[in-house]
Amino acid sequence: MTKQTAIFAGGCFWCMVEPFETLPGIEKVRSGYTGGAMVDPTYDEVAAHITGHTEAVKIWFDDDIVSYESLVELYWQLADPTDAMGQFADRGDTYRPVIFVKDDAQRQIAEASKQALASSGRFDQPIVTTIEDAKPFYDAEEEHQQFYKKNPLREMMMMMPRKRYQHKYWSDKEDANNGKA
C-alpha cells in the first residue's frame, strides 16, 4: 500500500467529504483550512475572512487502489471550476476552488486535467480553479468533521445545488476524455 495525500478546496468543506470518503482506497478525509498565513485558525476566523485560508478537505488514500488522477477527475464534478469567488450558495474567498498540490507529480496531473477540461468544451466560461502549492493544513473543529453523518438532512439540502450542477454539466454531456456520458 502506498499512502498519499491530496488537498482540494471546492466551497463548503461539509459538501466535499462524502463523495471522496466513500471511494475505495480512501483511508480518511478531514475538513480543514489551508492556503492562508494564520496558524491554527478557527472556523469563525476563517469565516470572517481574516486568515487568508480556504475551506478544504485533506484526503489520505492508497494510490494502489485509487489514483490521484481519479481524485482530480472527481473533484471537477464536485466544484464549479468557472466560479473563482465561491461555490454555489457559499460566497467569498474562503470558498474559492483550489487544487493544492504537494509535489511536481501532482502538479503535472492537475495541470493536465485542468487543460483537458478547458479544451473539452464542457463549460462556456473559462476554468478559473487555481493550482497552488500545498501549505499547512489545519483540521477544522470536531463539529465540522463527518458533517454528512451528523446532520444528514442539512447536508442533503446543502448538496442540492451541487447535484443540479452535476446533472447540468456531467450527466447530460459526453466526456471528451473517455467518451462516456
Active site residues: 12
Strand partners, 29: 59
d(CA 110, CA 176): 17
Please give the distance of CA 179 from its chain centroid, rounded to a whole number.
24
What the block records as the C-alpha cell of 35 is 492556503
d(CA 34, CA 28): 17
d(CA 162, CA 181): 18
d(CA 9, CA 87): 10
Range list of H helices, 1-67:
14-21, 43-47
The helix/strand/coil state of 28 is strand
